[in-house]
């Protein structure tokens, strides 16, 4: 239980740290030892309404600053994040579970995202369009979309808010952020940094509370002009329907089920090691994590041996300890649903090559053994449901056309991975795969300057890159008639 002296971590509304109106609070749990880390203020609609109103008021002056002046403040956020990366990374590990080195990488990637958008805001170009009649002129201007409601999940609590806050601020929008209820603490620290960087009062606001209440206020309050959501496909669909009423803009970054395809010319030993890194990063709780491994028959045996050996030797433990490569899963429910998926796969004929259960080395904490499966049947749920778990299902193939067909047999289309040194194979795969992000010999593809997002039921729109800025801009067409 939280001690009576534990400091309450508060929401940030209109430049002030606030408790919930009714005094409601929620405990945040450390997944490595199941202890209470902190208590947070847990508000609802009324607090969200005030945050939207503050953001609306603040936008009148924020949007009038030049992109250069906004850029200076956004760049300062990046500088502070880098200076304080160790402290915020520690908080991230404590509340989310990922190893400290991964947590620090997340903070530095997010700082890069702020820096990149600080610059890209200066490139919100309109166009001058050639006229077709002598007395007419045509041009477009870019205009900030308005106040944004931003909702994110627990797996990358800083990165996924940075991908919304940084471009929104660069475009001249103001924002109300809602973190996942289980991982709000590092985002609270980011809000402290933003205040320190000189972000004006009301431009950024943080609300915490039941998701439905906050989302209802975002959807029904006309002040909120855009919802940017990262999370499950199911919630994304609900929000998209809700946005239709007031025709709110919506960006959706949703689930995935990425294929990882290894051709026979690739070195199976090197690729198996890369595959293990890509799969077990953050315990497989990554939207772009590879979920189905198609390995060519000629290299399947060697790949399997190395993948199993490497996965077996990954160091599992509390992410704060040195040398740990995999932390706990983020909650008990996630561990239980992983066991259910594995048991289902076994019933349909799958073999467990390593792992397969909760680790018995720990008395407390949600530690699950890195798992490798073979002999998967198409009926196994793990072949179609997003696993979000440390489980690596191995399959084989012999023909390029067949593997493209298998890879695309999913409602998702977020990421795909191909390992080959053959240029023709590379090109055919890049053209044939239905995925918004394709890593060729690259297991970790996300960078701030390139578009990130999915096809099919993996989402709508793109974050990062210039597209990530456009998502916060409207295009105004200006038609000018000259005097005779
Ligand atoms: P989730 O249940 O959809 O939750 C994500 C966020 O939405 C949380 O802040 C949650 O709040 C909130 N939420 C829950 N129910 C809601 C509702 N009815 N209306 C509005 N907001 C609601 O997702 P999750 O299972 O925690 O997260 C994992 C999912 O996110 C996976 O599918 C993963 O692939 C996806 N993801 C996608 C990307 C990408 O960039 N494409 C990146 C990371 C993760 P509470 O925490 O308060 O419940």
Contacts of residue 470, Cβ cutoff 8 Å, sequence gap at least 6? none
Give catalytic status of residue 95 as yes or no: no
Residue 381 has a CB neighbour count (10 Å cut-off) of: 14
Question: Is the alpha carbon torsion for 367, 373, 377, 383 positive or negative?
Answer: positive
Residues 258-447, CATH architecture: 3-Layer(aba) Sandwich (3.40)
Spans of all domains in the chain? 8-254+458-478, 258-447
Separation of CA 159 and ligand 1 centre (Å): 14
CATH number of 8-254+458-478: 3.40.605.10
Of the residues 211, 251, 437, 451, which should be mutated to test ligand 1's pocket, given the most ligand atoms within 8 Å of the CB? 211
CA distance 139 to 152: 36
Separation of CA 296 and ligand 1 centre (Å): 35
The one catalytic residue in 115, 253, 457, 470 is: 253
Separation of CA 234 and ligand 1 centre (Å): 9
pLDDT band at 144 (very low <50, low <70, confident <90, very high): very high
Supply the pTM of this predicted model.
0.97
Is 38 in contact with 5 (CB distance < 8 Å)? no
Separation of CA 152 and ligand 1 centre (Å): 6
Tens digit of pLDDT for each residue in 40-87? Answer: 999 999 999 999 999 999 999 999 999 999 999 999 999 999 999 999
- Give the H or E element holding residue 129: strand 127-129
Question: By alpha-carbon position, which residue is closest to atom 34 of ligand 1?
Answer: 255
Tens digit of pLDDT for each residue in 156-214? Answer: 999 999 999 999 999 999 999 999 999 999 999 999 999 999 999 999 999 999 999 99
Of the residues 25, 45, 153, 213, which should be mutated to test ligand 1's pocket, given the most ligand atoms within 8 Å of the CB? 153
Please give the average per-residue pLDDT across 364-384, as a whole number: 97
The one catalytic residue in 287, 325, 457, 470 is: 287
Give catalytic status of residue 253 as yes or no: yes
Pairing of strands 147-151, 175-178: parallel
């Amino acid at each position: 239980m939280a001690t009576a002296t534990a400091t309450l971590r508060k929401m940030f509304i209109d430049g002030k740290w606030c408790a919930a109106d009714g005094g409601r609070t929620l405990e945040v749990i450390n997944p490595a030892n199941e202890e209470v880390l902190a208590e947070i203020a847990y508000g609802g609609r009324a607090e969200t309404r005030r945050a939207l109103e503050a953001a609306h008021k603040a936008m009148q002056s924020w949007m009038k600053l030049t992109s250069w002046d906004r850029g200076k403040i956004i760049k300062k956020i990046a500088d502070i994040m880098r200076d304080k990366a160790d402290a915020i990374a520690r908080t991230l590990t404590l509340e989310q579970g990922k190893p400290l080195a991964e947590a620090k990488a997340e903070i530095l990637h997010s700082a890069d995202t702020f820096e990149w958008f600080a610059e890209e805001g200066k490139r919100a170009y309109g166009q001058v369009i050639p006229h077709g009649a002598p007395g007419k002129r045509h041009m477009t201007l870019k205009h900030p979309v308005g106040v944004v409601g931003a909702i994110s999940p627990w797996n990358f609590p800083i990165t996924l808010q940075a991908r919304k806050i940084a471009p929104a601020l660069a475009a001249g929008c103001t924002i109300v952020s809602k973190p996942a209820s289980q991982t709000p603490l590092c985002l609270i620290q980011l809000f402290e940094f933003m205040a320190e960087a000189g972000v004006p009062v009301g431009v950024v606001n943080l609300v915490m509370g039941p998701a439905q209440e906050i989302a209802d206020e975002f959807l029904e309050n006309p002040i909120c002009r855009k919802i940017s959501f990262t999370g499950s496909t199911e919630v994304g669909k609900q929000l998209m329907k809700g946005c239709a009423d007031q025709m709110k803009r919506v960006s959706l970054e949703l689930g995935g089920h990425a294929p990882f395809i290894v051709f026979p010319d690739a070195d199976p030993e090197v690729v198996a090691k890369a595959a293990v890194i890509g799969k077990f990063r953050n315990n497989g709780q990554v939207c772009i994590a590879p979920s189905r491994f198609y390995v060519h028959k000629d290299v399947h045996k060697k790949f399997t041996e190395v993948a199993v050996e490497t996965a077996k030797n990954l160091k599992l433990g509390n992410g704060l300890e040195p040398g740990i490569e995999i932390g706990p899963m983020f909650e008990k429910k996630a561990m239980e649903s992983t066991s259910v998926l594995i048991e289902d796969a076994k019933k349909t004929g799958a073999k467990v090559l390593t792992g397969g259960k909760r680790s018995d080395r720990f008395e407390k904490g949600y530690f699950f053994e890195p798992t490798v499966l073979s002999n998967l049947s198409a009926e196994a749920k793990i072949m179609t449901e997003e696993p979000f778990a440390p489980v690596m299902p191995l399959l084989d193939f012999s023909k390029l056309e067949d593997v493209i067909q298998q890879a695309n047999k999913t409602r998702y289309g977020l990421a795909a991975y191909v390992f080959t040194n053959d240029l023709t194979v590379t090109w055919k795969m890049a053209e044939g795969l239905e995925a918004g992000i394709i890593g060729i010999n690259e297991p970790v593809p996300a960078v701030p300057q390139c578009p990130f997002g999915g096809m099919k039921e993996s989402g709508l729109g793109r974050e990062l890159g210039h597209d990530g800025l456009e998502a916060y801009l409207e295009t105004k067409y200006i038609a000018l008639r000259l005097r005779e």
